Homo-oligomer: A and B are copies of this chain.
Amino acid sequence: MTTLLEILHQVKKGHCSIDEALQKLQLQPPETIEEACLDHQRSLRTGMPEVVYGASKSVDQIVAISTSLLKNGDVLLVTRVDEEKAKEILAKLPELEYHQKASILCGNPRALDTDKCRGKVLVICAGTSDIPVAEEARVTLASLGQPVEPLYDVGVAGLHRILNNQPLLTQASVIIVVAGMEGALPSVVGGLVSAPVIGVPTSIGYGANLGGFTALLGMLNSCAPGLAVVNIDNGFGAACMALAINRA
């Protein structure tokens, strides 16, 4: 199998046109490790590196897959890693950094490069309980080289908290709004700005919150224009969407 390196060498030497190389890379067979079928070329196709979903993987699986992905030289992100699991992984891969509130392990973070960005991403959350999901979005974006700023605990029950921050809102190029319970904050934000708004419902709440479905449904039915929604608690997915939008 021709490796990424070989293809790039061929391109440099003129043995392969850029178009041919792109074609090859996009069709290149994936690498198989520990029953995982790694897709090293995803970054080329979608601009997002392959990210490891840590919740359903063992420490050994994460270490093996991370080691393979780190060889690529691109940023490594492992999401949904609790503190205990993180410690064990860090013992074997000390070059990684653990973001505790975000439950993310990161290696080779991309440097901030504002030239390649349209502007700053704003990550808002409604209550303090929503912060872990907001941090998953914020850390993902920061690790991918995006300028990003948090604005937390500004829910609709005290409207002046969000109204006092209107300059922040109008300057952002993309806004991620994280909210549980009734999920009303994205509607309010969406009515105040012209930037695209990404709603992230969280499972925070109890009783009739239906594990986050109430917030999800509320955001989907929002009357505010320019609002789209990702899965419950999916801060990572919101970051991906924001990244896709924020590319210059």
Contact = CB atoms under 8 A, between A and B. Distances in A.
A191 B226 contact: no
Given A129-B56, A158-B30, A182-B218, A207 B234 contact: yes
Interface string A12-46: 00000000000000111110101111010010011
Contact of A159 (B159, B219, B238): B159
Nearest to A194: B47
Interface residues of A, number: 95
Interface string A28-72: 111010111101001001111001010111000100000000000
A11 interface: no
Number of copies of chain A assembled together? 8
B225 A209 contact: no
A61 B101 CA distance: 14
B45 A194 contact: yes
B191 A223 contact: no
A216 interface: yes
A112 interface: no
5 contacts: A26-B160, A181-B221, A184-B222, A207-B231, A208-B220
